[in-house]
Amino acid sequence: MTANIIDGKLMAQELREQLAQKVAHLPTPPHLAVILVGNDEASIIYDRNKKKAAEAIGMQCTIHHLDENTPQEELLQLIHRLNTDSAVNGIIVQMPLPKHFNSEQIIESIDHAKDVDGFGIYNIGLLHSNDSSAMVAATPQAVLYMLQQTLGNIAGKHAVIIGRSNIVGRPLASLLLNNHCTVTIAHSKTVNLPQIAASADILVSACGVAKLVKKEWIKPGATVIDVGINRIDGKLCGDVDFDEAKEIAEYITPVPGGVGPMTVTMLLNNTLRAYIEQNSGLKK
């Protein structure tokens, strides 16, 4: 058996067309502000892609590119300015920030109604309380969307997530629990990781270790979602050994062309939602 490929690029394209139609009917374009500090090459590429994707569906995106040595206070002032600017609907600060920043304080300074990354404690609390008004981080939303598009109802399935980061593993665990999965979070200290992974109906890897997940880690017929973005000899690869896994899994995401394109789309979806809520008086 060879697995069916979950085509994230195609799914993202279809969803972006739907978003573009919604944006076209608004009186003004939703506006996403992206704050980028320093010259991390990957971050510059990610943010350029976000701007391109936003503009392609008719949204406005402003990148505020600050010097590596910008003081914490200056970044807080910029965020305050964007918080109080009614023409800005969403604010994200590209992570990781240079080491001298207190990232938690920066994240918490973003107005929760504009926190389209869903990284702030307020939105995390809503998500963990199964409150549908939570603004949920883009990558976990992308994973859920791809699972629902592929499998339909995921209630009762055993989902194993490898990775416990604040950006992916933890919020994804809540999101899948809210959607009635039985959830196991595994991580670098987990004993018997291959056996636990092999008990999953849905296996999500978000640990950043290239080709960690081998065929023995996969239950025949499982759905495998690979969130990893790694490089081996300059070539992109995921956390899953794709060539092995595709012989065992029923559905699998490739890297590149899987979760990545869907993540940017979900950020745009959050920005549209923030715009609608801010303009309908649903949220301040």
Residues that bind ligand GUN (CB under 6 A): 92-95, 117, 138, 167
Q: Catalytic residue, from 47, 50, 111, 211: name it.
A: 50
**Alpha-carbon distance 205 to 239, whole Å?**
6
Active site residue 13: no
Q: Catalytic residue, from 47, 94, 157, 278: name it.
A: 94
Question: Hey, is 132 helix, strand or coil?
Answer: coil
Question: In the complex, what is the shortest distance from the CB of residue 36 to ligand GUN, in angstroms, rounded to a whole number?
Answer: 9
Q: What are the start-end ranges of the E strands in the chain?
A: 4-5, 31-37, 60-66, 90-93, 158-162, 182-186, 202-205, 223-226, 230-232, 235-237, 251-252
48 vs 180 by CB, closer to ligand GUN? 48
Question: In the complex, what is the shortest distance from the CB of residue 270 to ligand GUN, in angstroms, rounded to a whole number?
Answer: 10
Active site residue 50: yes
**Alpha-carbon distance 173 to 76, whole Å?**
31
Please answer whether residues 4 and 250 qualify as being in contact, where contact means their C-beta atoms are separated by less than 8 angstroms. yes
Q: Catalytic residue, from 111, 117, 201, 239: name it.
A: 117
Active site residue 72: no
Question: In the complex, what is the shortest distance from the CB of residue 137 to ligand GUN, in angstroms, rounded to a whole number?
Answer: 6
**Alpha-carbon distance 152 to 172, whole Å?**
17
Residue 265 burial class via C-beta count within 10 angstroms: exposed 0-12, middle 13-18, buried 19 and up? buried
Rg of the chain on CA atoms, in Å: 19
Nearest residue (beta carbon) to ligand GUN: 95
138 vs 218 by CB, closer to ligand GUN? 138
**Alpha-carbon distance 103 to 215, whole Å?**
38
249 vs 266 by CB, closer to ligand GUN? 266
Question: In the complex, what is the shortest distance from the CB of residue 143 to ligand GUN, in angstroms, rounded to a whole number?
Answer: 13
163 vs 200 by CB, closer to ligand GUN? 163
The residues that are catalytic are 50, 94, 117
